[in-house]
């Protein structure tokens, strides 16, 4: 069935507390989607972020980001006062997130709510603890110890706790009991508020597309609590790390730094850890975008300690057996494969075997030197078309930056003579009218914004994941225009 949706990260929602959250603005955005005739809301990973603020480098693959907890809901519950919420400095620019100020303020205000909650006597909280103990205990302990050691990586902790010795684990659990409770409380709030928002989406006919990063962060509860699942040496340091080889976008490649999986170990356990991960994701989302699908066919292995990705090499991943295992464990899975980047015949074959829809990015289509799979006349129905993703520039920024030959090709394809202020709509139309079953447009392209609204520039640090939408950005006129085009092309 043909459908369309909008890509907007939770962090990019409007909010009076410096970063998007599960607040009234999130519910308003679902209303926006409904009015615009959309059926999907695509978000980015919603785990707790660390250094660099990337949602793809999270402290846990299971935990939720405490920044997204709605403070106004805690005021309504009597755990905070409005005055207390406004006393903190969450940043003064409503268009861009100030992560340093969010970090210094959000946990302090949430700690006040925890101290007043008497949460250990809450029956629903106790049920939440029990249901999620397979990851929650390790995560809360990890975060409490990380605070205790002033945020340093777990590999720099004292050896006894680094290596999970029982005596050390018991000792830290006793000493940090209150801090552990705080982190469990945050996860309870996150889950309760997220489930409420998701229920509201479903009532309004909106499905959520979530994102599962292929890798976990090295400095994470996942790597610390399950080192046997990763390619680590006896000192718990990575033998090799993840990334991408040099290409036309980066002369030295991309050095992500994530630990690589010990796939033989995962296979021996019938991929139990992965199955738990995917099952948890399907509790959070309706549709799952599997990041870096190529890595399940082949993954790029870079020697640990290298400054660039130039000396890496390809190694064989788990292949189709991995997805067979998923299919055998679940009755039905709604998965989108992020099959971007250097796509080989073996990746195409793997995608074909799984039957999952792949991704088509219009910004990748207009290389005047060669025919491209991303050009709409080459699509089949079983795909998801985007103008761009969180890693791309906006359409307006992109069309202004590409070389003259490619720009001429792109303009000719959409029957335009020159770049106009509303050029984004020509490419939105191209995506909407394509045969792709699903069409997802970043909100920035509907708003006609330039490079200042870009979410992420891969392989850079310091200025990513910050852009936010403002309440006044979305007008009734815009919603009418979106719905008209959506209806026109049967989505």
Taking alpha carbons only, the member of 181, 217, 259 closest to residue 59 is 217
How distant is the alpha carbon of residue 46 from its chain centre? 6
Taking Cα atoms as reference points, which of 352, 60, 101 lies closest to residue 216? 60
Q: Please count the CA atoms within 13 angstroms of the CA of 91 that sit on its side-chain side.
A: 21
Query: The pTM is what?
Result: 0.96
State the Cα–Cα distance between residues 282 and 210, nearest whole angstrom: 9
- Give Dmax over CA atoms of the chain in angstroms: 72
In the chain, the domains with their CATH numbers are 3-488 (3.20.20.80)
Q: What is the DSSP letter of 251?
A: T
CA 30 to chain centre: 19
Rounded-to-integer distance, Cα 386 and Cα 389, Å? 7
pLDDT of residue 249: 65
Cβ neighbors of 213 (< 8 A, separation 6 or more) are 45, 55, 56, 58, 61, 291, 292
What strands lie across the sheet with 383-386, from one edge to the other? 335-337, 287-290, 207-212, 40-42, 3-7, 438-442, 383-386, 358-361
Which residues have CB under 8 Å from 416's CB, separation 6+?
423, 426
Sequential DSSP letters for 374-430: TSGGG--SSEEEES--TTSPPHHHHHHHS-HHHHHHHHHHTT-SS--TTHHHHHHHH
Report the catalytic residues.
Answer: 291, 338, 391
Strand partners, 288: 210, 335
Q: How far apart are CA 459 and CA 249, in angstroms?
A: 10
Q: What is the pLDDT along the chain (491 residues), one digit of tens a residue?
A: 899 999 999 999 999 999 999 999 999 999 999 999 999 999 999 999 988 899 999 999 999 999 999 999 999 999 999 999 999 999 999 999 999 999 999 999 999 999 999 999 999 999 999 999 999 999 999 999 999 999 999 999 999 999 989 999 999 999 999 999 999 999 999 999 999 999 999 999 999 999 999 999 999 999 999 999 999 998 899 999 999 998 766 789 889 999 999 999 999 999 999 999 999 999 999 999 999 999 999 999 999 999 999 999 999 999 999 999 998 899 888 999 999 877 889 999 999 999 999 999 999 999 877 778 999 999 999 999 999 999 999 999 999 999 999 999 999 999 999 999 999 999 999 999 999 999 999 999 999 999 999 999 987 888 899 999 999 999 999 999 999 999 999 99
Per-residue pLDDT, 34:
98
Given this model, what pLDDT does residue 368 score? 77
DSSP state of 318: -
Q: Are 367 and 406 in contact (CB under 8 A)?
A: yes
């Amino acid at each position: 069935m043909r459908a369309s949706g909008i890509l907007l990260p939770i962090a990019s929602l409007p909010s009076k507390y410096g970063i998007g959250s599960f607040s009234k603005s999130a519910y308003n955005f679902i209303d926006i989607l409904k009015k615009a005739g959309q059926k999907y809301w695509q978000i980015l990973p919603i785990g707790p972020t660390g250094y660099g603020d990337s949602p793809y480098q999270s402290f846990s693959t299971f935990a939720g980001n405490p920044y997204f907890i709605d403070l106004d809901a805690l005021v309504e519950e009597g755990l905070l006062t409005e005055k207390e919420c406004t006393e903190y400095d969450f940043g003064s620019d409503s268009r861009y997130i100030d992560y340093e100020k969010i970090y210094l303020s959000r946990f302090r205000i949430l700690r006040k709510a925890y101290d007043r909650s008497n949460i250990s006597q809450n029956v629903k909280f106790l049920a939440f603890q029990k249901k999620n103990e397979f990851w929650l205990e390790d995560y809360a302990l990890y975060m409490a110890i990380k605070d205790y050691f002033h945020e340093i990586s777990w590999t720099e902790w004292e050896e006894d706790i680094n290596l999970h010795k029982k005596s050390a684990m018991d000792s830290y659990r006793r000493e940090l009991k209150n801090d552990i409770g705080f982190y469990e409380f945050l996860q309870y709030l996150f889950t309760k508020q997220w489930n409420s928002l998701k229920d509201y989406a479903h009532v309004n006919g909106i499905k959520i597309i979530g994102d599962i990063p292929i890798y976990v962060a090295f400095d994470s509860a996942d790597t610390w609590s399950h080192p046997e699942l990763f390619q680590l040496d006896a000192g718990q340091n990575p033998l090799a790390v993840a990334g991408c080889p040099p290409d036309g976008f980066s002369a030295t490649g991309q050095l992500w730094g994530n630990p690589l999986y010990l796939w033989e170990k995962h296979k021996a356990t019938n991929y139990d850890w992965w199955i738990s991960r995917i099952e948890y994701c399907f509790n959070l989302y309706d549709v799952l975008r599997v990041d870096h699908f190529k890595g399940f066919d082949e993954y790029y292995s870079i020697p640990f300690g290298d400054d660039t990705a130039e000396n890496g090499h390809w190694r064989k991943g788990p292949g189709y057996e991995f997805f067979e295992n998923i299919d055998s464990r679940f009755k039905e899975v709604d998965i989108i494969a992020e099959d971007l980047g250097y796509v080989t015949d073996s990746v195409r074959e793997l995608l074909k075997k799984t039957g999952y829809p792949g991704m088509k990015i219009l910004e990748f289509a207009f290389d005047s030197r060669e025919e491209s799979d991303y050009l709409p006349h080459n699509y089949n129905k079983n795909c998801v078309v985007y103008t761009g993703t969180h890693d791309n520039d906006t359409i307006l920024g992109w069309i202004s930056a590409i070389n003259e030959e490619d720009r001429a090709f792109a303009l000719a394809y959409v029957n335009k003579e020159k770049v106009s202020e509303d050029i984004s709509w020509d490419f939105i139309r191209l995506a909407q009218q394509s045969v792709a079953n699903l069409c997802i447009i970043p909100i920035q392209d509907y708003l006609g914004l330039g490079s200042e609204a870009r979410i992420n520039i891969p392989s850079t640090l310091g200025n990513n994941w910050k852009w936010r939408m403002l309440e006044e950005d979305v007008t009734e006129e815009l919603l009418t225009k979106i719905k008209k085009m959506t209806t026109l092309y049967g989505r």
